[in-house]
């Protein structure tokens, strides 16, 4: 059962697609006092959901915020990352789901201040609350997903392997990636273009010195089986003569300050303006700009910096230069030194800046901080609405960094600027079910870590998990150690693991399509499939993938295996040196040896395997073998 409780929302976020009448019955489960929703949790209650967040599958014991944040340090003390996904599923003495449709900062204290108390605190009482009850955990998720709409389905090639790096600058860099993978026999479908392909970091431009014949290059790469996937940032460089800026400024399509002037911020291109994606006309205008690249043969994009991320605002930067002069010529003690340093570090993503510019939505004019969480969602929606018109006969790959519930209908997301830390393999695994609950099925993390120095063993273990994530992309930042599968000498182990991904695509893509069509989860905690098993309820490092496969990846440095729990008899499937074997294993706890380079997973039914292929276009879905 689904019930809606409305508390005077100021605008329609677009998160839901079903028009649910507002009930006049009292809000169940929660008490409401002084703008705080409170629920007393039973001792055994698990709390699932909150999409892209830290700290495990069961969210109990920490405090979270729904606030899209540009933060590259995904440590356990963080309260929010790039997405705002305000859905919780409580499973204890009561079982229910709750969605707080609220587009700005909202706090979820899940037993942090009081171990038995869940409190939800919006900044203002202008939101809708949906309560979902009845049936199993999967039933509740299915009902919620039917409320928010069908998940985005990418083209088949998007299930291939992708290689990315901020630091591939020229056409020659991209060609070298393709050549190296072909030489090593490592399958590859996509090569990503980060900000260096642009002319001075300007959206919808190409640096013609680095790519003198971009259109021809795209075509040549496609003839070799490679899709080029460029990045699009949210902000538009303020530069007269740059047509995107000129048009946006002339037509009033940018966010404005309190005086109605374009609000100017600093990001990659320098001084820039923010398209007003809440304005339908501005949104359609920006989406149409993707034509520059689709006309060149591009069939996939990733949208970035759309929290929106702000390095500084023009006004705040000017004030910072003024403030720093006050330290000149002085002897700085420890406190004054840190104060001087923070003059500039505190400029980024400032709450004061977010409170200083405005949007024009159909419902009226809104200060950005009141609708902040919608920005990345609306950028994704802008792009996909246009791409469906620009490429009506074929699906387009599209995923984003920032998101709100509703964006899942237009594209996928990746989990942002993680690190080359072993803990981030586990964090990625534990983020997947919460994202799936909120409709985001096409998801994945930066394999090997975006920041830091990836090692050979870390990459092998990360790939062994990531071959099961729909979005499978190796990505890292400029200045870091190269972490391509071809960068560590012997490539055989990498080739076998990535080949296995391609062999599993008939199963993985099939289960993905089924989950999208039926409003189900592609990744599930064991407790969702084995509700009556107390041991399964406590497992936080194993997941069901579709209906017939369970994964239990190794995520610890120097480990030769790991302990696993089987909630029923299953088959252990092992890929070692390219050879795939199967053996039955009984229900219960086991230690499983997993030498570096091996991949081990479990099945409870027959799994289809394709022959090895160099890319998705080469897969033969008519010639499958079965194992399990």
Strand 364-367 vs strand 358-361: parallel, antiparallel, or unpaired? antiparallel
Closest CA relative to residue 311, chosen from 129, 122, 70: 70
Tell how far CA 36 is from the center of its chain: 29
Q: Which residues pair with 372 in a beta bridge?
A: none
Q: What is the pLDDT of residue 628?
A: 85
Kindly report whether the global pTM for this prediction surpasses the value 0.95: yes
What average pLDDT score do residues 426-451 get?
A: 98
What average pLDDT score do residues 268-283 get?
A: 98
Q: What is the pLDDT of residue 379?
A: 98
Using alpha carbons only, give the angle 326, 331, 336 rounded to the nearest 5 degrees: 65
Phi-psi region of 74 (alpha: psi -120 to 50; beta: other; left: phi over 0): beta
Peptide bond between residue 308 and the one before it cis (omega within 30 degrees of 0): yes
335 has a pLDDT exceeding 90: no
How does DSSP classify residue 17? Answer: -
474 band by pLDDT with thresholds 50, 70 and 90:
very high
333 band by pLDDT with thresholds 50, 70 and 90:
confident
The C-alpha atoms of residue 104 and residue 143 are separated, in whole angstroms, by 24
Contact 552, 602 (CB under 8 A): yes
195 has a pLDDT exceeding 80: yes
Encoded tokens for 495: 């080739």
Q: What is the pLDDT of residue 337?
A: 73
Q: What is the pLDDT of residue 6?
A: 97
Task: Report helix, strand or coil for 403.
Answer: strand
Q: Each residue of 117-149: pLDDT tens digit?
A: 999 999 999 999 999 999 999 999 999 999 999
- The secondary element (H helix, E strand) that includes residue 404 is strand 403-404
324 has a pLDDT exceeding 80: no
Q: What is the pLDDT of residue 148?
A: 98
Encoded tokens for 54: 């830290």
334 band by pLDDT with thresholds 50, 70 and 90:
confident
- Cβ burial, residue 561 (10 Å; 0-12/13-18/19+): middle
Q: Each residue of 56-95: pLDDT tens digit?
A: 999 999 999 999 999 999 999 999 999 999 999 999 999 9
327 has a pLDDT exceeding 90: no
Q: Each residue of 512-547: pLDDT tens digit?
A: 999 999 999 999 999 999 999 999 999 999 999 999
577 band by pLDDT with thresholds 50, 70 and 90:
very high
111 has a pLDDT exceeding 80: yes
401 band by pLDDT with thresholds 50, 70 and 90:
very high
Q: Each residue of 493-510: pLDDT tens digit?
A: 999 999 999 999 999 999
- Cβ burial, residue 315 (10 Å; 0-12/13-18/19+): middle
Q: What is the pLDDT of residue 220?
A: 98
The C-alpha atoms of residue 267 and residue 243 are separated, in whole angstroms, by 19
594 has a pLDDT exceeding 90: yes
What average pLDDT score do residues 366-375 get?
A: 98
Q: Each residue of 221-235: pLDDT tens digit?
A: 999 999 999 999 999
Packed helices 423-437 and 137-148: angle between N→C axes, nearest 10 degrees: 70
288 contact partners, CB below 8 Å, separation of at least 6: 386, 390
Give the chain's mean pLDDT: 96
Q: What is the pLDDT of residue 364?
A: 96
The C-alpha atoms of residue 43 and residue 437 are separated, in whole angstroms, by 23
266 has a pLDDT exceeding 80: yes
Report the share of the chain in percent with pLDDT over 90.
94
Q: What is the pLDDT of residue 318?
A: 83
Helices (H), 165-213: 171-184
Encoded tokens for 232: 């699009």
Encoded tokens for 195: 């900000």
Question: CB atoms < 10 A from the CB of 25, how many?
Answer: 9
The greatest distance separating any two alpha carbons of the chain, rounded to the nearest whole angstrom, comes to 76
Contact 192, 302 (CB under 8 A): yes
Interior/surface letters 392-422, b for 16+ CB within 10 angstroms, e for the rest: eeebbbbbbbbbbbbbbbbbbbbbbbbbbbb
The C-alpha atoms of residue 106 and residue 120 are separated, in whole angstroms, by 7
Supply φ then ψ for residue 220, to 5 degrees. Answer: -65, -40
The C-alpha atoms of residue 362 and residue 10 are separated, in whole angstroms, by 11
332 has a pLDDT exceeding 80: no
The C-alpha atoms of residue 379 and residue 144 are separated, in whole angstroms, by 23
Return the CA Rg of the chain.
Answer: 24
Tell how far CA 223 is from the center of its chain: 30
Report the share of the chain in percent with pLDDT over 70.
100
Strand 579-585 vs strand 570-576: parallel, antiparallel, or unpaired? antiparallel
What average pLDDT score do residues 560-576 get?
A: 98
Q: What is the pLDDT of residue 242?
A: 98
């Amino acid at each position: 059962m689904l019930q809606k409780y409305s508390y005077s929302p100021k605008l329609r976020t677009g998160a839901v697609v079903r028009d649910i009448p507002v009930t006049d019955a009292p809000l169940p489960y929660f008490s409401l006092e002084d703008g705080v929703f409170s629920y007393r949790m039973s001792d055994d209650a698990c709390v699932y959901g909150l999409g892209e967040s830290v700290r495990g599958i069961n969210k109990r014991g920490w405090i979270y915020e729904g606030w899209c944040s540009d933060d590259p340090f995904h440590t356990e003390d963080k309260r929010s990352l790039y997405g705002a996904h305000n859905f919780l599923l409580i499973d204890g003495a009561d079982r229910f789901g709750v969605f707080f449709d609220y587009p700005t900062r909202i706090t979820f204290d899940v037993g942090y201040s009081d171990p038995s108390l869940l409190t939800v605190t919006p900044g203002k009482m202008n939101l809708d609350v949906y309560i979902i009850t009845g049936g199993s955990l999967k039933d509740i998720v299915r009902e919620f997903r039917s409320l928010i709409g069908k998940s985005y389905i990418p083209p088949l090639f998007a299930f291939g392997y992708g290689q990315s790096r901020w630091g591939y600058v020229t056409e020659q860099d991209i060609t070298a990636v393709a050549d190296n993978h072909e030489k090593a026999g490592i399958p590859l479908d996509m090569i990503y273009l980060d900000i260096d392909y642009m002319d001075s970091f300007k959206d919808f431009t190409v640096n013609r010195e680095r790519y003198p014949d971009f259109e021809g290059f795209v075509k040549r790469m496609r003839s070799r089986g490679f899709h080029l996937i460029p990045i699009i940032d949210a902000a538009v460089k303020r530069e007269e003569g740059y047509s995107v800026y000129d048009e946006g400024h002339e037509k009033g399509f940018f966010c404005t300050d309190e005086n109605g002037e374009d609000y100017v911020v600093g990001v990659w291109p320098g001084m820039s303006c923010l398209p007003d994606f809440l304005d339908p006309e501005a949104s359609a205008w920006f989406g149409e700009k993707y034509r520059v690249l689709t006309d060149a043969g591009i069939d996939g994009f990733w949208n970035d910096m759309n929290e929106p991320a702000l390095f500084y605002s023009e006004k705040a930067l000017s004030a910072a230069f003024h403030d720093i002069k006050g330290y000149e010529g002085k002897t700085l003690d420890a406190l004054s030194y840190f104060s001087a340093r923070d003059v500039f570090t505190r400029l980024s993503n400032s709450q004061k800046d977010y409170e200083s510019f405005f949007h024009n939505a159909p419902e009226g004019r809104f200060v950005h901080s009141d609708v902040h969480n919608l920005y990345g969602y609306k950028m994704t929606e802008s792009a996909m609405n246009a791409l469906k018109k620009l490429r009506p006969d074929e699906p387009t790959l599209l995923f984003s960094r920032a998101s709100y519930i509703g964006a899942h209908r237009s594209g996928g997301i990746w989990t942002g600027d993680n690190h080359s830390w072993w803990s981030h393999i586990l964090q990625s695994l534990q983020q997947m079910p919460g994202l799936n609950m909120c409709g985001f099925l096409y998801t994945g993390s930066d394999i090997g870590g975006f920041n830091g120095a990836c090692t050979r063993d870390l990459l092998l273990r990360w790939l062994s998990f990531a071959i099961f994530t729909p979005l499978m992309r190796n990505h890292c930042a400029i200045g870091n150690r190269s972490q391509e599968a071809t960068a560590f000498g012997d490539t055989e182990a990498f080739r076998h693991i990535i080949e296995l991904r391609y062999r599993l695509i008939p199963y993985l893509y099939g289960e993905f399509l089924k989950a999208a069509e039926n409003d189900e989860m592609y990744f599930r905690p064991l407790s969702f499939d084995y509700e009556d098993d107390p041991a399964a309820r406590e497992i936080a490092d194993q997941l069901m993938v579709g209906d017939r496969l369970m994964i239990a990846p190794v995520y610890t440095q120097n480990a030769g295996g790991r302990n696993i729990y089987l909630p029923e008899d299953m088959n252990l499937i092992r890929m070692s040196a390219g050879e795939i074997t199967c053996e039955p294993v009984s229900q219960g706890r086991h230690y499983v040896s997993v030498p570096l380079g091996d991949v081990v997973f479990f099945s409870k039914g027959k799994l289809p395997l394709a022959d090895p292929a160099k890319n998705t276009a080469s897969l033969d879905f008519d010639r499958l073998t079965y194992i399990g």
